[in-house]
């Protein structure tokens, strides 16, 4: 899929994550989280795996985590992808 515009998903509420997705070169993930030391690698893995699932190869991702669980992170990234690629033909698993 091709990113056509910048898109956001999520909130800054507790137990959520705020994702900003835009076109880039390669996959670049910038993560802000109070639990980055403990869970930063896992959060980034979920983001990268979700992008890979939808064949996104060039993206800049800014993630502001407020304690989101993996399934929330995945849902927010999928929503940002749908908005950024301007499609509603997503494989929601």
25: domain CATH number?
3.30.230.10
Q: What is the pLDDT of residue 93?
A: 45
Strands (E) located in the chain: 7-9, 17-22, 27-33, 59-65
Q: What is the pLDDT of residue 66?
A: 97
Query: Considering its fold, how many domains does the chain have in total?
Result: 1
Residue 22 lies in a domain: yes
Q: Is the pTM of this model over 0.75?
A: yes
Per-residue pLDDT of the chain (93 residues; tens, 9 = 90+): 899 999 999 999 999 999 999 999 999 999 999 999 999 999 999 999 999 999 999 999 999 999 999 999 999 999 999 999 988 766 554
Closest CA to 84 of 12, 17, 24, 28: 24
Domain span holding position 58: 7-84
């Amino acid at each position: 899929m091709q990113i056509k515009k910048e898109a956001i998903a999520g909130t800054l509420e507790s137990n959520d994550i705020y994702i900003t997705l835009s076109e880039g070169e390669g996959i670049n993930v910038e993560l802000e989280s109070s639990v980055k030391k403990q869970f930063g690698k896992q959060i980034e893995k979920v983001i990268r795996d979700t992008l890979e699932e939808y064949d996104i190869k060039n993206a800049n991702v800014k993630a502001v985590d407020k304690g989101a669980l993996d399934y929330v992170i995945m849902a927010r990234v999928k929503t940002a992808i749908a908005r950024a690629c301007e499609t509603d033909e997503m494989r929601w698993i």
